[in-house]
Amino acid sequence: MVVRELDNHTFRLAVAQFDQAAERMNLDPNLRERLKLPERSLLVNVPVRMDDGAVKMFAGYRVQHDSSRGPSKGGIRYHPDANLGEVAALAMWMTWKCALAGLPYGGAKGGVQVNPKQLSRAELQRLTRRYAAAIFPLIGPDKDVPAPDVGTDPQVMAWMMDTYSMQVGYAVPGVVTGKPLSIGGSLGREEATGRGVVDVTLEAMRHLKLDIQTATVAVQGFGNVGANTARIMAETGARVVAVSDVSGGLYNAKGLAIPELLAWYRANGQTFSSCTMGDRITNEELLALDCTVLVPAALSEQITEANAAKISCRILAEGANGPTTLEADRILTDKGVFIIPDILANSGGVIVSYFEWVQDMQRFFWNSLDIRDRLHEIITAAFHRTLQFSRQRGVTMRMAALMSGIDKVAQAHLSRGLYP
């Protein structure tokens, strides 16, 4: 059953993935129904006074999918297409992601239906503070811990942390993660998702006996995840031959100069629209490039039945959430593409968010080497557990990851029982 308010294509994809895994697991029907829908969904209308004096309304959401294993955890995205169904799907994926990595969290997600690039800094701050106040009853360091996502950043988290702290009367750094270092943020958090993508990709290459020095990499999306993935992959010795953003991308068969490209991107309005540091290509052309590793790090459902046959990579490392549809998944599996599923590939962000939360709660902070080493240990262990599960059960990596994560959550529910 899909509740009408949640019924959109992204939520249907998340539920379809869950149903496939639950069927293979012979999951208890009662648990199956319980885990298919979120525990709690909040829709808020956020009034913001714009710089011209007019008051504009924005739709905001916070969804908590599951809290059986601990506080719920998940990002806040500011995007024009944000909606309740998408946020609920992302919250579900966060539940499986946290369980797969062994983190003591459930999944949550939030969003505001807005294009943040069209707001002034003052408008963005007023929107953030009003949204944080609206979801205040749901969040807290022991209840639900937001983090940055698409369209948000450490500054947005700082405003959220301050708004929450002003409500309770004292500083609460642990209410959000992904904050600036000056108010309890963690070293290594900004690059964490991209570094995690690289860590599991290198493990996959070792498993497939592929040489990093001759590997070519294409990255779709040049936000936090895509940019850091491209940078770190280049640092390992791979040739990053293509990158893109919403305006299109750049290609150079000999490899792009990623450090120079990053500097140019940041200095020119974060768009490749006028960049001449490579040959211009479209996002569709980037996805179809012949390469060793393809990293979709943009938005959901970029690889579909319509373009999956054109995918020519050896490894697909999903930096974004839900970038591949079920139909595309089957096509890629038949083609022999090694897929590192999103709930494994991009879990570095929530792993280091967990480190930040732990540091905030203990008031004891780690150095960057500690964080990098602990991230590597946790995410590569999760990769090898998933790979072993996949080979033992004869299922895909995606199905292995989903089944492993769902089983941990199911066991928590069975242990706790049903109240009352």
Task: List, as own/partner pairs, every contact residues 48-51 make where C-beta atoms lie below 8 angstroms and the sequence separation is at least 24, other chains included.
Answer: 48/123, 48/126, 48/127, 48/130, 49/126, 50/123, 51/120, 51/122, 51/123
Tokens encoding 63:
């969804």
Query: Residue 301, class by beta-carbon neighbours within 10 Å (0-12 exposed, 13-18 middle, 19+ buried)?
Result: middle
- Distance CA(402)–CA(343), nearest Å, equals 8
In eight-state DSSP terms, residue 166 is: H
254 is catalytic: no
Distance set, CA 407 to CA 159, 160, 261, 391 (Å): 37, 33, 43, 17
Cα separation, 313 vs 208, whole angstroms: 13
User: Beta-strand (E) ranges in 88-215?
Assistant: 106-113, 144-148
> How would you classify the pairing of strands 239-245 and 216-220?
parallel
Question: Which residue, among 375, 380, 385, 377, has the nearest Cα to 407 in the 3D structure?
Answer: 385
Among the listed residues 36, 73, 97, 109, the single catalytic one is 109
Q: Which residues are part of the catalytic machinery?
A: 109
